Amino acid sequence: MNDFQSLSIEESPAPAVTNPAANPIARIHGEPVTELPSDLYIPPDALEVFLDTFQGPLDLLLYLIRKHNLDVLDIPMAELTRQYLAYIEMMRANKLELAAEYLLMAAVLIEIKSRMLLPKPVAKGDEDEVDPRAELVRRLLEYEQMKVAAQKLNKLPQAERDFALTNVWIEQKVIERLPEVNADDLRNAWLILMARLNVNRRHNITREELSVREHMTRILRHVQGHHFVEFSDLFNAAAGAAELVVTFLALLELVKERQVEVSQPCAFGMIYVRPISVLTTV
């Protein structure tokens, strides 16, 4: 009898059929996207990545200096260059594109390091020795100042970020209150009026009876029906100094009795007079 070797054949399980919709690349409006369109073109510089918030080679140098507690005014170029080149190699290992300015700064650091290793030339006379790091230190300090200033500006409230602008409808009209006039403003206005007089002309001195009350009535008639009247319009320079004095006293009496109000819209601006009755009825 022949011995037959028994063979056990196990059926291999059928490969699982994966549903592409189960692991979509993305979802657009809730619909799964399983594959990229054949005509889709993504430019190589479409995405800008900031690693550790470094926004340039100077920013990276400042980070390395602060991280290792280096003196920015006395930079050890060997250590700083080693740290910088190590970071550049790390970015290359991760297949990240480097901006040209990072490579340029690497060349600058290597040049400064090489110049530091060379024998220093003998200074002639009173000439100061030029430090190869001076220009780099100046750029670093200037960049740090600008960065601090930018951070302070960013902390200030900004429209559309910290608050929103809106229009508010005000049903009741707001009456603008003009600033009050002090004694110095009245004195200056009076001096301007007196300067207009021709004090050198010949004139006959006559006694004239002038009434303050009559001038008060004349001022009230002049301002009646007006919202405001210019201060200088109440005086007639051709009438003489006595007329101006009485008119000025009459105006002060009206202000004292609260029959008129004197106001000035802005500093060194025109002075206006208006009756109190108009102010209360507006």
Q: Please give the model's pTM, rounded to 2 decimal places.
A: 0.40
Same domain for 139 and 217: no
Q: Give me the number of domains the chain comprises.
A: 2
CATH number of the domain at 276, please: 1.10.10.580
Per-residue model confidence (pLDDT) at position 3: 46
Residues 147 and 56 in one domain: yes
- Amino acid type, 130: V
pLDDT tens, position by position, 109-135 = 889 888 888 887 766 666 667 788 888
Residue 268 belongs to a domain: yes
Q: Is the pLDDT of residue 202 over 70?
A: no
Q: Does position 26 have pLDDT exceeding 80, yes or no?
A: no
In a domain, 29, yes or no: no
Distance from the Cα of residue 21 to its chain's centroid: 50
- Per-residue DSSP letter, 213: H
Whether residues 243 and 147 fall in one domain: no
Residue 10: per-residue pLDDT: 47
Alpha-carbon distance values, 39 to 20, 26, 27, 124 (Å): 20, 17, 19, 69
User: Percent of the chain, pLDDT > 90?
Assistant: 2
* Same-domain status, 79 and 143: yes
**Residue 98: predicted pLDDT:** 67
Q: Could you give the percent of the chain with pLDDT greater than 70?
A: 76
Query: Containing domain of residue 251, as a range?
Result: 183-197+210-281
Residue with tokens 């929103």: 164
Q: Mean of the pLDDT values across residues 166-180?
A: 76
Residues 79 and 146 in one domain: yes
Where b means 16+ CB within 10 Å and e means fewer, 32-52 reads eeeeeeeeeeeeeeeeeeeee
pLDDT class for 96, splitting at 50, 70, 90?
Answer: low
Distance CA 182, CA 180 (A): 7
Gap between the Cα atoms of 204 and 13, Å rounded: 134
pLDDT at 8 over 50: no
pLDDT band, very low/low/confident/very high, at 282 (cuts 50, 70, 90): very low
Whether 148 and 216 share a structural domain? no
Q: Under 8 Å CB-to-CB from 216, ≥6 apart: which residues?
A: 250, 253, 254, 259
Per-residue pLDDT band for 142 (boundaries 50, 70, 90) equals very high
Tokens coding 268: 């060194």
The packing angle between helices 183-196 and 241-256, to 10°, is 160
Beta bridge partners of 26: 33
CB 274 within 8 A of CB 263: yes
Q: Are residues 56 and 140 in the same domain?
A: yes
Whether the pLDDT of residue 252 is over 50: the answer is: yes
Q: Which single residue is written with the structure tokens 């594959």?
A: 35
> Distance between CA atoms of 179 and 267, rounded to whole angstroms?
9
The verdict on 68 and 148 lying in the same domain is yes
Residue 99's pLDDT band, with cuts at 50, 70 and 90, is low
Same domain, 68 and 139: yes
Burial of 26: CB neighbours in 10 Å, binned 0-12, 13-18, 19+: exposed
d(CA 116, CA 108): 12
Per-residue model confidence (pLDDT) at position 123: 64
Task: Name the residue with tokens 């300090």.
Answer: 141
Tokens of 137: 């230190």
Residues 56, 148 within the same domain: yes
How many CA atoms within 13 Å lie on the side-chain side of 224?
A: 7
Which pLDDT tens digit goes with each residue over 207-221? 667 788 888 888 888
Q: Please report the DSSP string for 162-205 in residue order.
A: TB-------SSPPPP-PPBP-HHHHHHHHHHHHHHS-TTS----
Mean pLDDT of the chain: 77
Beta strands 272-275 and 260-263 are antiparallel
Amino acid identity for residue 131 in this structure? D
Q: Do 151 and 214 share a domain, yes or no?
A: no
Q: State yes or no: pLDDT of 270 exceeds 70.
A: yes
With contact defined as beta carbons under 8 Å apart, do 58 and 140 qualify? yes
CA–CA distance, 60 with 53 (Å, rounded to integer): 9
For residue 44, is pLDDT > 70? Answer: no
- pLDDT (mean) for 225-229: 80
Nearest to 248 by CA among 209, 194, 182, 195: 194
pLDDT of residue 226: 78
Give the per-residue pLDDT at 273: 87
Q: Between 15 and 158, where is the model more confident?
A: 158
Domain contains 188: yes
Residue 71 located in a structural domain: yes
Q: Are residues 149 and 192 in the same domain?
A: no
